[in-house]
């Protein structure tokens, strides 16, 4: 089969690799200029900072096995264990996406605007029309639901329930410092912080940056409150950071705003297929009902990508 995957984040990349290994022809269509999605790293002068996932943890045997390979390839490393290991991209989280995309067919800077049924298959329209036998949408559920709503597909009542899933936003302030400062034991503070701050990371101490750049992760509630006031939000992030860390000698600063950072409510299955079309949805918010953590994270995206690929392989054989 020829399969189109909308989105080159963790779930899309994993599904693509498994489907391609099973002999299918796979194309990833990604709207950004790089793969990785919320595995995101930004360059700032001589250094860089992660501004999506901070680290990932591993509970499942499948991911445990895979992480060993990624470690052997030098793509990930253990940051610290407390008591469970926290893994990070050795050279930034985004490099994990780049590594997983090796050998895959990826179209970058291509945003899919509509999905239509055409001659027994599916047609995606962005800057051109692309034809597939089956399609996987990996965008966060609210974005996937909006894409479906705006498309000429027959959506059943069950399909339309996807609109009910809500994600919360996140602001991440990036502050490049002129002088290094110690942030917690390992370059991470995630407790007893001023209201609004979820985590503070020093990317230098995390081992991914030549210069000290702080990533200040704000809570969902705070980010919702400040969502439309970006300039003021940056100032407030700095004020709260100084309240926690003392005076900072700031070289430069930037703000990253995620409209869809994590699901407020998860979907209780690892993927969903539209009732009348060969179109599947997967991603971090699609969790096994017995998922031990119950929240969206890198590992849930990984498992969802694996499971949707298994299902499509079975579908192709039937």
Ligand X SMILES: Cc1cc2nc3c(=O)[nH]c(=O)nc-3n(C[C@H](O)[C@H](O)[C@H](O)COP(=O)(O)OP(=O)(O)OC[C@H]3O[C@@H](n4cnc5c(N)ncnc54)[C@H](O)[C@@H]3O)c2cc1C
> Footprint of ligand X on this chain (CB under 6 A)?
6-12, 29-32, 37-39, 52-56, 111-112, 138-140, 143, 147, 170, 172, 217, 258, 261-262, 283-284, 296-298, 301
Nearer to ligand X, 246 or 289 (CB): 289
Smallest distance from ligand X to CB 145, Å: 11
Task: Please say which residue, 14 or 23, places its beta carbon nearer to ligand X.
Answer: 14
**Shortest Cβ 215–ligand X spacing (Å):** 9
Is the CB of 37 or the CB of 89 nearer to ligand X? 37
Distance CA 306, CA 87 (A): 20
CB nearer to ligand X: give 132 or 217. Answer: 217
What's the closest the beta carbon of residue 177 comes to ligand X, in angstroms?
20
Return the number of the residue (6 or 200) whose C-beta is nearest ligand X. Answer: 6
Query: Of 23 and 264, which has the nearer Cβ to ligand X?
Result: 264
Residue 87 CB, nearest approach to ligand X (Å): 9
Q: How far is the CB of 50 from ligand X (least distance, A)?
A: 9
CB of 86 to ligand X, least distance (A): 8
Cα dihedral sign for 229, 234, 235, 239?
Answer: positive
Q: What is the DSSP string of the chain?
A: -EEEEE--BHHHHHHHHHHHHTT-EEEEE-SSSSSBTTS-EEEETTEEEE-S---B---SHHHHHHHHHHHHTTSEEEEEESSSEEEEEBTBTHHHHHHHHTTS-EE-S----EEEEETTEEEEESSSEEEESEEEE-S-HHHHHHHHHTSS----HHHHGGGG--EEEEEEEEEEESS----TTTTEE-SSPPTTEEEEEEHHHHTS-SS-EEEEEEPHHHHHHHTT-HHHHHHHHHHHHHHHH----EEEEEEEEEEEEEESS-BSSS-EE-TTSSEEE-STTB--TT-SS-S--HHHHHHHHHHHHHHHHHHHH-
The least distance separating ligand X from the CB of residue 3, rounded to whole angstroms, comes to 15
């Amino acid at each position: 089969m020829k399969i189109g995957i909308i989105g080159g984040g963790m779930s899309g990349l994993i599904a693509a690799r498994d489907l391609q290994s099973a002999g299918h022809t796979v194309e990833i269509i990604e709207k950004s200029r790089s793969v990785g999605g919320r595995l995101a790293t930004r360059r700032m002068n001589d250094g860089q900072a992660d501004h999506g996932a901070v680290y990932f943890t591993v509970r499942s045997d499948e991911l445990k096995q895979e992480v060993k390979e990624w470690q052997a390839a030098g793509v990930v490393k253990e940051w610290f264990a407390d008591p469970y290991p926290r893994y990070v991209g050795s050279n930034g989280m985004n490099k994990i996406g780049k590594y997983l995309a090796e050998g895959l067919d990826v179209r970058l800077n291509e945003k899919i605007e509509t999905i239509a049924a055409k001659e027994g298959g599916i047609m995606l329209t962005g800057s051109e029309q692309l034809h597939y036998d089956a399609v996987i949408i990996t965008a966060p559920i609210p974005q996937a639901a909006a894409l479906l709503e705006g498309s000429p597909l027959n959506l059943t009542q069950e399909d339309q329930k996807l609109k009910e899933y809500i994600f919360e936003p996140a602001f991440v302030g990036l502050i490049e410092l002129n002088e290094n400062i110690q942030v917690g034991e390992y370059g991470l503070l995630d407790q007893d912080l001023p209201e609004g701050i979820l985590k503070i990371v020093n990317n230098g101490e995390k081992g991914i940056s030549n210069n000290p750049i702080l990533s200040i992760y704000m809570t969902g509630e705070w980010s919702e409150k400040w969502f439309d006031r970006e300039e003021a939000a940056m100032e407030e992030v700095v004020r709260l950071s100084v309240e926690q860390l003392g005076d900072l000698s700031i070289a430069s600063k930037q703000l990253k705003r995620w409209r869809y950072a994590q699901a407020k409510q998860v979907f209780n299955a690892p993927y969903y297929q539209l009732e009348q079309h060969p179109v599947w949805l997967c991603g971090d918010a699609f969790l096994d009902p017995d998922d031990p953590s119950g929240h969206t994270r890198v590992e849930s995206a990984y498992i969802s990508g694996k499971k949707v690929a298994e299902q499509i392989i079975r579908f192709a054989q039937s």
